[in-house]
Structures are given as structure tokens and as C-alpha cells.
Amino acid sequence: MAAQRAESVLSKRLRRADLTAVADVRATLRERLRRRAWGERELADIAELLTSELVTNALVHTGRDAEVTATLERSGPSRLRVEVRDYVEHRPVQRTADGEATGGRGLMLVQSLADAWGVRAVGAGKIVWFELGGGPA
């Protein structure tokens, strides 16, 4: 079995309630994916959107710090994996938002647009993650 070659694209700790960090995370991810020529533009846009949804959820719904990590795996077709860790054990709940609601669509977007996603418990908290394929390495 071939070993996977992975490179860190982004690793950042976010302070609780610092919603300005969401835009910074998006911009940093965009710039680093562009520099590594990963995926098509549309796929990078989806990565930004889903990352901002998970980061926003972690900061808004936990009231605590969070950590975001993005990693490119480049053995075979390249894949981007983004993980957002928070320090609250309760699992996220997918809601159904009505047409006028300004929230409640984040996990629906992740489920609809990611190639894979999930939640796993870690110590005192959890990691919500998603993966997107970027085509040949």
C-alpha cells in the first residue's frame, strides 16, 4: 500500500466569538489552495464555503475556541481534508431552515457539497470534517 503524501495547507487556532476570523480563514485557504494549484476554481470556492460554515458553527454554537486544519493529500487523486475542532462534546444538529431564515443551512451545505464528511469525538470536544477531491496530483 502506497504511503499518502500529505501537506498542511492551514492550521489556525480561533478565539471564541471572533467571527472576524472566519473571513481570515477563508482568505488564507483561498490563497494557499491557489498557490498549490489545487483543484478547479469551483472546487476551491466550495472548500472556502464549507470551511467558513464549519468555523462559524464552531464559534457561534459553542462559545469557545476552535481550531481549523486543512490538509492536502497528494498520493493518487489529490484530496483536501478540512477539520474544525471545538471543545464542546455535543454533536451538531442539522436543522431545516425556512425560506426566510438567515441560518440553519450550514450542515445541509456540507452534506450536499462535500465528497465525504463526519463528526468524531476527541477528548473534551469533537472534530467536524469534510473532504473534497481535486483531481490528479
Tens-place pLDDT, residues 81-106? 999 999 998 887 766 666 665 555 68
Delineate the domains of the chain, giving CATH numbers in brackets. Answer: 6-135 (3.30.565.10)
Cell of 77: 487523486
In this structure, are residues 83 and 89 in contact, taking their beta carbons and an 8 Å threshold?
no
Tens-place pLDDT, residues 39-91? 788 899 999 999 999 999 999 888 899 999 999 987 777 899 999 999 998 88
Q: What is the pTM of this model?
A: 0.86
